């Protein structure tokens, strides 16, 4: 039957997947990177013993990170993705023909190389000529780059521990905003309001100090602790509850999960989240 | 640190909870019943090695089973609950002052006795004079009872394996409908559209053959496999997307999770579910 690979949260709860085989394992200069083949979730990218994404449920995460902002930002010509080494986020971004350039900043080339080789069903857009992948430090980039501003900035970081923790810093968010056009939209994964309510709330406060409009939204990701995740839509202008433009309707309806109904529904927050955020 | 208690799904995926101590363990005539005290989820009711409910997340399940139907049924004077031995469902039902009588049919008194003793924070309405708990066979009851019809029927069964499997039978659903007033509403837990898509789809088909209106809805329950669960709202008349009556608004706003926004949002289905149901 194969061995169990367990991800343990805080030492108290664990999700275990039965492993058929380990396809890749390497210590990069930044972190331990593995790809395992599991019975239930297919191939899974694991970084520092934390499940990152799986063939089985990656669409639930990537569609939720990308579609709410790509369908509501006033312009989407230039898109910046920070992190997202598995390629799922840029794949969803590049479905939009209005996107002219997608810059992806990923510090760890090992993640991209392993994903290209072992997770080809996730990263299907690596060869898109609009994609510009740079293996550099995202923090340094957003603080110092002279590149033109972006219409959309998407943060696809790992958990707020280890080398990815700086991607949850106020200073990093400030840099991201520096790279964003005045009426641009930023979206990010923002932890689990169930498993990690403290991180979730702290992140919301940081974002509110920077953006006039900060709207968390929620959805299922079976691979992530407790199965419920959040993302957050941020902007200084506009708000996320507007209709999907007709020219983009086709993209959304072809999605595996996201659609016009979810486009509004995911922003409905349960009372325990509203109370924690004093909404 | 204590031992791990793991629930394993299909031999391929497991959720493990660190246990502080086992508070109760008994073999009833029907099943193995345990209450364990865990670090992350508080006290957990376990039946035949499957996690049933926990102090930590029980509200997510019970509010979702009860509020969509209690707020939309034309009458809610008489409510029937089948299963639900932990007491969480009847607790939510009895929040409504319009409910005059709530009959709860639970085959296994051991579950209720253990819950009363070890999960008092879940079953807070055992002493409500409107509650009539009967330790009898639910299938037999719905097939043969001469009791007056109910305005709302709620099915709070376990998983479709073991002694609870009959609670997913077409014959059982037919009996439930027999006990329902012509414009009554039935709601039930209907498995995970992620972990158990086949059971979910089969259940929907059974319900559609019996009711004119069958509306599945989804929400998070961390304790249940993959963290995403479904329930289904059924009726021959009406539909669930109507506003919460003003006199009930207070109940819903005081809920831990459910509210007026979720009341509509939970019925938005992702594309993978709509396609599986050919909606």
CA distance B148 to B178: 10
Asked if B42 and B67 sit in the same domain, the reply is: no
Residue B25 scores a pLDDT above 70: yes
Question: Distances in Å between the alpha carbon of B186 and those of A99, A139, A213, B56, B99?
Answer: 47, 53, 40, 27, 15
**DSSP state letters, A72-91:** TSS--SEEEEEE-TTSHHHH
pLDDT digits (tens, 9 = 90+) for B94-153: 999 999 999 999 999 999 999 999 999 999 999 999 999 999 999 999 999 999 999 999
Q: 3-state class of B138 per DSSP?
A: helix
Q: β-strand A213-220 against A228-235: which pairing, if any?
A: antiparallel
B-chain residues near A228 (CB < 8 A) = 220, 222, 227-228
Asked if A94 and A23 sit in the same domain, the reply is: no
CA distance A207 to A223: 26
Confidence of residue A277 (pLDDT cuts 50, 70, 90): very high
Q: How many domains does chain B have?
A: 2
B-chain residues near A38 (CB < 8 A) = 12
Q: Which of A17, A40, A220 sits opposite B228 (nearest CB)?
A: A220
Asked if A34 and A138 sit in the same domain, the reply is: no
Q: Which of B57, B194, B256 sits opposite A222 (nearest CB)?
A: B194
CA distance B165 to A142: 56
Q: Residue A83 — left, alpha, or beta (φ > 0 → left; ψ -120 to 50 → alpha)?
A: left
Confidence of residue B162 (pLDDT cuts 50, 70, 90): low
Provide the CATH number for the domain around residue A176: 3.40.50.150
- Structural domain that includes position B33: 4-54
Q: Which of A256, A261, A270 sits opposite B272 (nearest CB)?
A: A256
Chains A, B: CB pairs < 8 Å: 123
B268 close to A262: Cβ distance less than 8 angstroms: yes
Asked if B127 and B208 sit in the same domain, the reply is: yes
8 Å CB contact of A226 and B218: no
**Residue B22: which H helix or E strand, with range?**
strand B13-27
Question: Given CB atoms, is A249 within the 8 Å cutoff of chain B?
Answer: no
**pLDDT average, residue stretch A90-96:** 98
Asked if B188 and B121 sit in the same domain, the reply is: yes
8 Å CB contact of B256 and A269: no
Residue B161 scores a pLDDT above 70: no
Asked if A38 and A116 sit in the same domain, the reply is: no
| Closest residue by Cα to residue B51 from B188, B223, B231 | B223
Residue A163 scores a pLDDT above 70: no
Asked if B130 and B250 sit in the same domain, the reply is: yes
What chain B residue is nearest to A261 in terms of C-alpha separation? B268
Residue A172 scores a pLDDT above 80: yes
* Predicted pLDDT of residue A160: 63
Q: 3-state class of A56 per DSSP?
A: coil
Confidence (pTM)? 0.96
Complex prediction ipTM: 0.95
* Predicted pLDDT of residue B164: 67
Asked if A26 and A116 sit in the same domain, the reply is: no
* Predicted pLDDT of residue B158: 77
Question: Given CB atoms, is B133 within the 8 Å cutoff of chain A?
Answer: no
| Token digits of residue A22 | 């380990």
| Closest residue by Cα to residue B237 from B197, B186, B179, B277 | B186
Q: 3-state class of A230 per DSSP?
A: strand
Question: Given CB atoms, is A15 within the 8 Å cutoff of chain B?
Answer: yes
* Predicted pLDDT of residue B1: 59
Nearest CA distance, A68 vs chain B (angstrom): 14
Nearest CA distance, B147 vs chain A (angstrom): 37
Q: 3-state class of A95 per DSSP?
A: coil
* Cβ-proximal residues to B184 (8 Å cutoff; 6+ apart), any chain: B73, B75, B149, B150, B151, B152, B153, B235
* Predicted pLDDT of residue A10: 87
pLDDT digits (tens, 9 = 90+) for A206-225: 999 999 999 999 999 999 97
Mean pLDDT of chain B: 95
pLDDT digits (tens, 9 = 90+) for A36-77: 999 999 999 999 999 999 999 999 999 999 999 999 999 999
CA distance A131 to A146: 19
Nearest CA distance, A117 vs chain B (angstrom): 25
B204 close to B232: Cβ distance less than 8 angstroms: yes
Question: Given CB atoms, is B220 within the 8 Å cutoff of chain A?
Answer: yes
Q: Torsion angle of alpha carbons B75, B77, B83, B84, nearest 10°?
A: 100
* Predicted pLDDT of residue B165: 75
**pLDDT average, residue stretch A133-143:** 96
**Residue A104: which H helix or E strand, with range?**
strand A101-105
* Predicted pLDDT of residue B157: 87
Q: What is the share, in percent, of chain A residues with pLDDT greater than 90?
A: 89
Residue A167 scores a pLDDT above 80: no
* Predicted pLDDT of residue B241: 86
Asked if B134 and B37 sit in the same domain, the reply is: no
Q: Which of B14, B222, B264 sits opposite A228 (nearest CB)?
A: B222
Q: 3-state class of B119 per DSSP?
A: coil
CB atoms near residue A11 (< 10 Å): 10
CA distance A79 to A94: 9
What chain B residue is nearest to A2 in terms of C-alpha separation? B12
Laid out side by side, the sheet with B228-235 consists of: B131-134, B101-105, B78-83, B150-156, B180-189, B228-235, B213-220
Nearest CA distance, B23 vs chain A (angstrom): 18
Asked if B63 and B29 sit in the same domain, the reply is: no
CB atoms near residue A125 (< 10 Å): 18
pLDDT digits (tens, 9 = 90+) for A11-34: 899 999 999 999 999 999 999 999
Q: Tell me which DSSP letter residue A58 carries.
A: H
Q: Residue B20 — left, alpha, or beta (φ > 0 → left; ψ -120 to 50 → alpha)?
A: alpha
**pLDDT average, residue stretch A103-130:** 98
Cα torsion angle, B56, B62, B63, B65, sign: positive
Provide the CATH number for the domain around residue A24: 2.30.140.10
Question: Given CB atoms, is B249 within the 8 Å cutoff of chain A?
Answer: no
| Closest residue by Cα to residue A48 from A2, A104, A107, A8 | A8
Asked if B25 and B103 sit in the same domain, the reply is: no
Asked if B41 and B76 sit in the same domain, the reply is: no
Residue B2 scores a pLDDT above 90: no
**pLDDT average, residue stretch B147-172:** 84
């Amino acid at each position: 039957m194969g061995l169990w690979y367990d991800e343990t949260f805080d030492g108290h709860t664990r999700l275990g997947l039965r492993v058929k085989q380990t396809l890749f394992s390497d210590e990069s200069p930044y972190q331990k990177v593995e790809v395992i083949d599991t019975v239930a979730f297919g191939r899974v990218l694991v970084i520092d013993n934390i499940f990152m994404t799986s063939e089985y449920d990656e669409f639930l995460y990537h569609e939720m990170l990308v579609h709410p902002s790509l369908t509501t930002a006033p312009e989407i010509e230039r898109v910046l993705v920070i992190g997202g080494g598995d390629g799922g986020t840029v794949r969803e971004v590049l479905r939009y023909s209005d996107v002219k350039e997608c810059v992806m900043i990923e510090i760890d080339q090992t993640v991209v190389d392993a994903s290209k080789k072992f997770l080809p069903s996730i990263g299907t857009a690596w060869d898109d000529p609009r994609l510009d992948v740079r293996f550099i430090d995202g923090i340094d980039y957003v603080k110092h780059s002279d590149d033109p501003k972006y219409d959309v900035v998407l943060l696809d970081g790992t958990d707020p521990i280890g080398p990815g923790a700086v991607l949850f810093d106020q200073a990093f968010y400030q840099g991201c905003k520096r790279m964003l056009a005045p009426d641009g939209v930023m979206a990010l994964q923002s932890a689990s309001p169930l498993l990690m309510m403290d991180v979730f709330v702290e992140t919301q406060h940081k974002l509110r100090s920077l953006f006039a409009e900060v709207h968390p939204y929620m959805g299922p990701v079976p691979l992530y602790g407790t199965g419920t995740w959040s993302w957050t839509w941020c902007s200084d202008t506009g708000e996320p509850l507007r209709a999907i433009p007709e020219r983009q309707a086709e993209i959304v309806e072809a999605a595996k999960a996201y659609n016009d109904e979810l486009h509004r529904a995911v922003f409905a927050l349960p009372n325990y989240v509203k109370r924690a955020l004093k909404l």
